[in-house]
Structure 1
């Protein structure tokens, strides 16, 4: 199972509950940087970001949490790797 529905709906909270706070803080930091870059880019280029783009970006973030939750929990519990790097998904 590669998609965790609980993580899809409650991503940030779910990672803290599972004890994956380091990885969660890294992911939140990446999300903030992406949103700031898009916001500043839209101001500098004087373009308006549509609501559908924002919804799509949010769904992508939810999917990122859902696809990362199971393997991150496995790495923490079985392998003992509870690191900060959110892209380490190899077993």
Structure 2
């Protein structure tokens, strides 16, 4: 577990350094430090636009297949419930967008946990809980 990230692209270096300094998204220190950043840097740390559009593929490319399978299972379950309950298509689309936004907000910290801390679990919500 090294604090040297020169083998990573600059965006990942910035994200990893931020997580090292301020912890994960569930911590109040993280939230305060994130609010202090300019909008562009805040978006770089907090959101991943590739995952917003292509989250299953992006998770696989990053080696986060466990979290991807869990999130995909949740998405399929939600879609099935919408179909069984006969809810309007707008509900299905809204839930799909919510899953994509959740993936985009989680992937940076999940990748940090995998690469830096050696944690590659099934929980796609690890980025949202209180962390060290």
Structure-1-length-normalised TM-score: 0.84
Instruction: Give the match for residue 118 of structure 2.
Output: 80
The structure with the largest alpha-carbon Rg is 2
Q: How many residues align?
A: 85
The CA deviation at 1:51 is 3.0
Tell me the alpha carbon deviations over residues 51-76 of structure 1, each in whole angstroms, 9 at most, x when there is no partner.
32222122111101101110100000
Q: Distance in 2 between matches of 1:16 and 1:5?
A: 15
Comparing 31-40 and 49-58, the one that deviates more: 49-58
SS in 1 for 2:47: coil
Instruction: Give the match for residue 15 of structure 1.
Output: 59
Instruction: Give the match for residue 45 of structure 1.
Output: none
Q: Distance in 2 between matches of 1:60 and 1:40?
A: 19
Gaps of 5+ in 2: 1-44
The answer (yes or no) to whether the contact 2:78–2:95 under 8 Å persists in 1 is no
* 1:40-55 equivalence runs, <5 A: 40-42=84-86, 49-55=87-93
Gaps of 5+ in 1: 43-48
Structure with larger RCO (C-alpha < 8 A, sep 6+): 1
**1:56 has 2:56 as partner:** no
Superposed CA RMSD in Å reads 1.3
